[in-house]
């Protein structure tokens, strides 16, 4: 069974630091989501280095996001099911909360499948803000990939990955901008698709030569 190993290397490829997930996970507690294959335990899809040296890891097959203490390798906190369901793209906000795209497949406590974007207080796992489609839960859904970004103006950029849809919502959840990728291509897993793995917005100030 495969599990993930996180490594840091310098520019010459020299190993500086490493963390092995199987040394810190408990198979009785950190259980694979029911419909996933049994040859892969964690399937980590995001690593977020933090200024302190710690890092945040998103383990899709465990529906778990966790902060790892760089010095000890232990979990500082873990956000787990039933709140999470095969999530992607967590980020640490300035207020200490975690923002992520909760894909919504294989939910433990709800039979319906739907995606939502949630801002979570990691110490308590309380959701302090979320976006989900209120007209029909199934109309906002991406079972794989996807991402989310909190913008400087307080709005949130959401990438609904499998539909190729990117849109921006206000704190009151009003959609103020959206774009759907018009370009389709063939893939082994998804077939003919316009999927977008992740989206980021960059300000013009980052590119002074283009002004």
Q: Note whether residue 16 is domain-resident.
A: no
Number of domains in the chain: 1
**Which of 88, 91, 59, 87 has the alpha carbon at shortest distance from 75?**
59
Q: Does residue 63 form part of some domain? A: yes
How much is the pTM?
0.95
On whether residue 2 sits in a domain, the answer given is: no
Question: pLDDT, tens digit, for every residue of 118-162?
Answer: 999 999 999 999 999 877 667 899 999 999 999 999 999 999 999
Question: Each residue of 83-105: pLDDT tens digit?
Answer: 999 999 999 999 999 999 999 99
Whether 48 is in a domain gets the answer: yes
Is residue 204 in some structural domain? Answer: yes
SS3 89: strand
Phi (first) and psi of residue 192, to 5 degrees? -80, 115
Question: Domain containing 39 — which CATH number?
Answer: 2.130.10.10
Residue 66 in domain: yes
Give a yes or no: residue 26 inside a domain: no
| Domain residue limits at 205 | 31-210
**Is residue 110 included in any domain, yes or no?**
yes
């Amino acid at each position: 069974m495969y599990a993930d190993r996180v490594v840091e290397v310098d520019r010459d490829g020299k190993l500086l630091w490493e963390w092995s997930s199987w040394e810190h996970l408990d198979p009785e507690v950190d259980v694979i989501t029911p419909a996933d294959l049994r040859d892969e335990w964690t399937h980590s899809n995001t690593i977020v280095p933090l200024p302190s040296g710690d890092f945040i890891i998103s383990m899709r097959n465990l529906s778990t996001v966790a902060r790892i203490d760089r010095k000890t390798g232990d979990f500082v906190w873990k956000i787990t099911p039933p709140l999470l369901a095969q999530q992607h793209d967590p980020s640490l906000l300035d207020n200490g909360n975690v923002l992520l795209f909760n894909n919504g497949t294989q939910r433990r406590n709800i039979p319906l499948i739907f995606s939502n974007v949630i801002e979570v207080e990691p110490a308590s796992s309380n959701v302090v803000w979320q976006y989900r489609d209120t007209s029909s839960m199934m109309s906002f859904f991406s079972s794989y990939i996807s991402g989310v970004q909190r913008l400087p103006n307080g709005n949130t950029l959401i990438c609904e990955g499998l539909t190729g849809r990117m849109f921006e919502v206000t704190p009151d959840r009003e959609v103020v901008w959206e774009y759907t990728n018009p370009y389709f291509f063939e893939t082994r897993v998804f077939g003919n698709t316009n999927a977008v793995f992740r989206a980021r917005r960059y300000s013009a100030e980052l590119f002074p030569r283009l002004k």
